[in-house]
């Protein structure tokens, strides 16, 4: 099994901007929290979070397919490859496991919450579910975030959407 350090090295090899690297780490943190909640393998889930966008900068039009190919060529476990593919709804990979549902659920939401934190005093502690819901209604805020994916993740989430936020 590859290590977190190897996942970080792969992220840094293919991703040059701090913003996308930080996004990978934010998604990792969310994935690890959910792995603990579901009593799942925290390392596997965390690495899916780190790697889900590692090919995006170099191959935006072929993302995440190029990343999946790289992972397979390097012998990464198929569970990680499938998780990376599952975060993007257009791949057609079914969200049929908790890991696949979770990577989809946290990807757009972590980016949105980060944007909210920048508005609310640059601290995550200032970002409440109420503030997130309010900002979700503002179409001019964080335009790059796919709100439909966030809404779908709320519908698919097994629990309270406020807890998810």
State yes or no: pLDDT of 22 exceeds 90.
yes
Is residue 45 classed as helix, strand or coil in its secondary structure?
A: helix
What average pLDDT does range 146-163 have in this prediction? 84
Confidence of residue 87 (pLDDT cuts 50, 70, 90): very high
State yes or no: pLDDT of 109 exceeds 90.
yes
What average pLDDT does range 102-126 have in this prediction? 91
State yes or no: pLDDT of 157 exceeds 80.
no
Domain count, the chain: 1
Q: How far apart are CA 157 and CA 122, in angstroms?
A: 27
Q: What is the CATH classification number for the domain harbouring 131? A: 1.10.3210
Q: What pLDDT is recorded for position 163?
A: 84
Q: 148 is in which domain, residue-wise?
A: 4-164
State yes or no: pLDDT of 7 exceeds 90.
yes
What average pLDDT does range 41-68 have in this prediction? 98
Q: Where are the alpha helices (DSSP H) in the chain?
A: 4-14, 18-37, 42-51, 65-73, 78-86, 98-119, 129-137, 147-156, 161-164
Q: What pLDDT is recorded for position 159?
A: 72
Q: What pLDDT is recorded for position 121?
A: 84
What average pLDDT does range 153-164 have in this prediction? 81
Alpha-carbon separation of residue 56 from 65, 105, 136 (angstroms): 10, 18, 24
Q: What pLDDT is recorded for position 161?
A: 80
What average pLDDT does range 89-110 have in this prediction? 95
């Amino acid at each position: 099994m590859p290590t977190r350090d190897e996942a970080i090295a792969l992220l840094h090899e293919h991703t040059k901007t701090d913003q996308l690297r930080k996004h990978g780490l934010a998604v990792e943190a969310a994935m690890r929290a959910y792995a603990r909640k579901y009593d799942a393998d925290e390392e596997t889930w965390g690495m899916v979070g780190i790697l889900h966008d590692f090919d995006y900068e170099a191959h935006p039009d072929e993302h995440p397919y190029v990343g999946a190919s790289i992972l397979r060529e390097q012998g990464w476990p198929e569970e990680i490859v499938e998780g990376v593919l599952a975060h993007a709804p257009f791949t057609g990979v079914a969200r049929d496991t908790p890991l696949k549902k979770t990577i989809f659920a946290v990807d757009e939401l972590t980016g949105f919450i980060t944007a909210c934190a920048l508005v609310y005093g640059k601290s995550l502690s200032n970002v409440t579910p109420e503030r997130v819901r309010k900002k979700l209604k503002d179409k001019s805020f964080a335009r790059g975030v796919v709100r439909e994916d966030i809404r779908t993740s709320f519908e698919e989430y097994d629990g309270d959407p406020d807890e998810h936020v």
